[in-house]
Amino acid sequence: MTNPVLKAFPAQTIINPAAVPGGVDIQLDNDKGYARVSTAMVTVKAFKRTRPGYEWLHDFYFGVITETGEVFANPVATVLSDTTEPHTVTFGVEFGDTLKIEGVEYRMVEDFNNNMKLEAV
Protein backbone atom coordinates (compact mmCIF):
# COMPACT_ATOMS: atom_id res chain seq x y z
CA MET A 1 0.00 0.00 0.00
CA THR A 2 1.26 3.47 -0.90
CA ASN A 3 1.83 5.86 2.01
CA PRO A 4 -0.97 8.47 1.87
CA VAL A 5 1.06 11.22 3.58
CA LEU A 6 3.84 12.72 1.47
CA LYS A 7 4.75 15.43 3.99
CA ALA A 8 3.34 16.59 7.32
CA PHE A 9 3.93 20.18 8.41
CA PRO A 10 2.39 21.75 11.54
CA ALA A 11 -0.11 23.73 9.43
CA GLN A 12 -0.42 21.52 6.35
CA THR A 13 -0.56 17.86 5.42
CA ILE A 14 0.23 16.88 1.83
CA ILE A 15 -1.54 13.73 0.63
CA ASN A 16 -0.41 11.44 -2.18
CA PRO A 17 -3.31 11.41 -4.68
CA ALA A 18 -2.24 7.95 -5.89
CA ALA A 19 -2.92 6.59 -2.38
CA VAL A 20 -6.56 7.76 -2.28
CA PRO A 21 -8.90 4.80 -2.82
CA GLY A 22 -10.82 5.32 -6.07
CA GLY A 23 -8.50 8.14 -7.12
CA VAL A 24 -8.86 11.90 -6.85
CA ASP A 25 -11.35 13.90 -8.92
CA ILE A 26 -11.13 17.57 -7.93
CA GLN A 27 -14.46 19.37 -8.18
CA LEU A 28 -14.84 23.04 -9.08
CA ASP A 29 -17.21 23.62 -6.19
CA ASN A 30 -16.93 27.39 -5.64
CA ASP A 31 -18.94 29.37 -8.23
CA LYS A 32 -17.71 32.95 -8.51
CA GLY A 33 -20.04 33.76 -11.44
CA TYR A 34 -17.23 34.56 -13.90
CA ALA A 35 -15.38 31.35 -12.97
CA ARG A 36 -15.78 28.13 -11.01
CA VAL A 37 -12.84 27.23 -8.78
CA SER A 38 -11.88 24.34 -6.53
CA THR A 39 -11.69 24.57 -2.79
CA ALA A 40 -9.29 21.61 -2.87
CA MET A 41 -5.68 22.57 -3.51
CA VAL A 42 -2.59 20.84 -4.82
CA THR A 43 0.95 21.49 -3.68
CA VAL A 44 3.71 21.19 -6.26
CA LYS A 45 6.89 19.57 -5.00
CA ALA A 46 9.40 21.97 -6.55
CA PHE A 47 10.12 24.17 -9.51
CA LYS A 48 13.43 23.88 -11.38
CA ARG A 49 14.73 27.03 -9.68
CA THR A 50 13.56 26.12 -6.15
CA ARG A 51 16.40 26.24 -3.66
CA PRO A 52 17.31 22.99 -1.89
CA GLY A 53 15.32 22.52 1.30
CA TYR A 54 12.31 24.50 0.01
CA GLU A 55 10.11 21.72 -1.32
CA TRP A 56 6.30 21.54 -1.12
CA LEU A 57 5.74 25.31 -0.85
CA HIS A 58 3.86 26.06 -4.07
CA ASP A 59 0.09 25.75 -3.59
CA PHE A 60 -2.42 26.02 -6.43
CA TYR A 61 -6.15 25.70 -6.87
CA PHE A 62 -7.88 25.04 -10.18
CA GLY A 63 -10.64 26.79 -12.02
CA VAL A 64 -12.49 27.19 -15.28
CA ILE A 65 -13.55 30.50 -16.83
CA THR A 66 -17.32 30.31 -17.20
CA GLU A 67 -17.54 32.14 -20.54
CA THR A 68 -14.74 30.35 -22.41
CA GLY A 69 -14.36 27.01 -20.60
CA GLU A 70 -10.59 27.63 -20.26
CA VAL A 71 -9.07 25.66 -17.36
CA PHE A 72 -6.43 27.39 -15.24
CA ALA A 73 -4.19 26.82 -12.22
CA ASN A 74 -4.04 29.75 -9.83
CA PRO A 75 -1.19 30.09 -7.32
CA VAL A 76 -2.01 30.58 -3.66
CA ALA A 77 0.37 32.83 -1.76
CA THR A 78 2.16 30.91 0.97
CA VAL A 79 3.57 32.73 3.94
CA LEU A 80 5.34 30.85 6.70
CA SER A 81 4.82 32.44 10.10
CA ASP A 82 4.30 31.59 13.74
CA THR A 83 0.66 32.75 13.57
CA THR A 84 -1.83 30.00 14.27
CA GLU A 85 -3.80 29.20 11.12
CA PRO A 86 -6.21 26.39 10.25
CA HIS A 87 -4.54 23.14 9.28
CA THR A 88 -4.93 22.50 5.54
CA VAL A 89 -4.74 19.29 3.56
CA THR A 90 -3.60 19.37 -0.06
CA PHE A 91 -2.72 16.83 -2.76
CA GLY A 92 0.98 16.63 -3.62
CA VAL A 93 1.91 16.56 -7.30
CA GLU A 94 5.08 16.83 -9.34
CA PHE A 95 5.34 18.27 -12.82
CA GLY A 96 4.40 15.62 -15.34
CA ASP A 97 1.83 14.02 -13.00
CA THR A 98 -1.78 13.80 -14.13
CA LEU A 99 -4.79 14.68 -12.02
CA LYS A 100 -8.49 14.44 -12.70
CA ILE A 101 -10.54 17.63 -12.51
CA GLU A 102 -14.28 17.10 -12.88
CA GLY A 103 -13.71 13.83 -14.72
CA VAL A 104 -11.12 15.15 -17.20
CA GLU A 105 -7.44 14.19 -16.88
CA TYR A 106 -4.87 17.00 -17.00
CA ARG A 107 -1.07 16.91 -16.91
CA MET A 108 0.65 19.39 -14.59
CA VAL A 109 3.23 21.34 -16.60
CA GLU A 110 5.68 23.93 -15.30
CA ASP A 111 5.05 27.39 -16.74
CA PHE A 112 7.19 30.53 -16.61
CA ASN A 113 7.56 32.60 -13.43
CA ASN A 114 6.88 29.68 -11.01
CA ASN A 115 3.41 29.04 -12.40
CA MET A 116 1.70 25.88 -13.58
CA LYS A 117 -0.45 25.19 -16.61
CA LEU A 118 -2.76 22.28 -17.31
CA GLU A 119 -2.69 20.21 -20.48
CA ALA A 120 -5.62 17.90 -21.25
CA VAL A 121 -4.43 14.30 -21.60
Query: 22-26, 33-37, 79-83 — which is least confidently predicted?
Result: 79-83
CA dist., res. 111 & res. 70, Å (int): 16
Cβ–Cβ under 8 Å, residues 108 and 96: yes
Q: What is the pLDDT of residue 87?
A: 77
Task: Give residue limits of the domains in the chain.
Answer: 5-120
pTM of the model: 0.76
For the stretch 38-91, pLDDT in tens is 999 998 887 777 667 667 678 899 999 999 999 999 888 655 445 556 778 899
CA 4 to chain centre: 16
